[in-house]
Amino acid sequence: MASPSTSNLSPKLLLMSLLLGSFVVASVGNLYQDFDLTWGDGRAKILNNGQLLTLSLDKASGSGFQSKNEYLFGKIDMQLKLVPGNSAGTVTAYYLSSQGPTHDEIDFEFLGNLSGDPYILHTNVFSQGKGNREQQFYLWFDPTADFHTYSILWNPQRIIFSVDGTPIREFKNSESIGVPFPKNQPMRIYSSLWNADDWATRGGLVKTDWSQAPFTASYRNFNANACVWSSGSSSCSSTSPSSTSTNSGWYSQELDSTSQERMKWVQKNYMIYNYCTDTKRFPQGLSPECTATTTS
């Protein structure tokens, strides 16, 4: 039976409504419906009737979750509040990934630090198993004091990382110059809180202070405006996938001039590492997308 909100629509409008509805595969709502708690022996919890998810880390174990759905393109938003206080040695990872030796992956990782020192936001893009595309940033706020929105926009032309709606990084599709781009492997959302004190803080010099445990990161307001992959096919129309753009524009979205200026501001003032300028690490030459200036 049609719902009251659609029962009076013409057949054409009803079809359009149903089609558009299929692309909004998750809305701000119940985290029980969107995620499975995958490891941590009870250290991962969904609370407040599905409105809040927390991950905890102690000396025995960290914890993690993953999305029930796989996606092939979409705009993914999640609000996070990171481990407060002395978080040195801890890593909170939030990323999209496929499986297998030639996997694709789009990463946010938050590297903890001593009290008063800034978190490092680490980003990376893997395509067909190859990564080494790290860019790192400080944040312009305290990410432990309140929730902030971390977003990944992934469409066939580009990947855009954003924080509270401000773009910080763009990785463009550069297949025309031989750079693989994630476009064929559906990816799940994963997140974990774990101990990485062998490398996370000052290259491993600062170790985790277990007297501060348990460490806790919090998540809320997940939203996925995306194409769900199920049983070998996408929820988005293969003949006209851009029809999803009438919903929010994400499938063909690119940075306008204002967004480009905001991203340049972030990169000028808060970027602390860029693989595209690290000639010592890559003496054989930088990646083609770096010299072609097709990645930011």
Q: Domain holding 172: CATH number?
A: 2.60.120.200
Q: Is residue 209 part of a domain?
A: yes
pLDDT digits (tens, 9 = 90+) for 136-159: 999 999 999 999 999 999 999 999
Question: What is the DSSP-derived secondary structure letter of residue 271?
Answer: E
pLDDT reported for residue 200: 81
- What is the spatial distance between Cα 38 and Cα 46, in angstroms, rounded to a whole number? 12
> To which residue do tokens 């905890």 refer?
56
Q: How does pLDDT run across 250-281, given as a tens digit for each residue?
A: 999 999 999 999 999 999 999 999 999 999 99
For residue 189, the cross-strand partners are: 96
Residue 119 lies in a domain: yes
Residue 295 forms part of a structural domain: no
Q: Is the peptide bond preceding residue 214 cis, with omega within 30 degrees of 0?
A: yes
User: Considering the domain boundaries, does residue 37 fall inside one?
Assistant: yes
First to last CA, the chain: 49
| 26 CB-near residues (< 8 Å, 6+ apart) | 33, 34, 69, 222, 223, 224, 226
Are the C-beta atoms of residues 105 and 97 closer than 8 Å to each other?
Answer: yes
41-96 confidence digits (pLDDT tens): 999 999 999 999 999 999 999 999 999 999 999 999 999 999 999 999 999 999 99
Domain annotation covers residue 124: yes
Instruction: Examine residue 1 and state whether it is found in any structural domain, yes or no.
Output: no
Which two three-digit tokens encode residue 216? 């806790």
Instruction: Give domain status of residue 22, yes or no.
Output: no
pLDDT the model gives residue 226:
96
How many Cβ atoms sit within 10 Å of the Cβ of residue 30?
14
Question: In the annotation, is 289 catalytic?
Answer: no
Q: How many domains does the chain have?
A: 1
Please tell me whether the overall predicted TM-score, pTM, comes out greater than 0.85 for this model: yes
Q: Is 105 a catalytic residue?
A: yes
Q: Which amino acid is at 167?
A: P
Tokens of 286: 């930088």
**Catalytic residue from among 105, 170, 254, 289:** 105
Q: Is residue 135 part of a domain?
A: yes
Q: In which domain, by residue range, is 134 found?
A: 31-235+247-290
> Which is more confidently placed, 245 or 117?
117
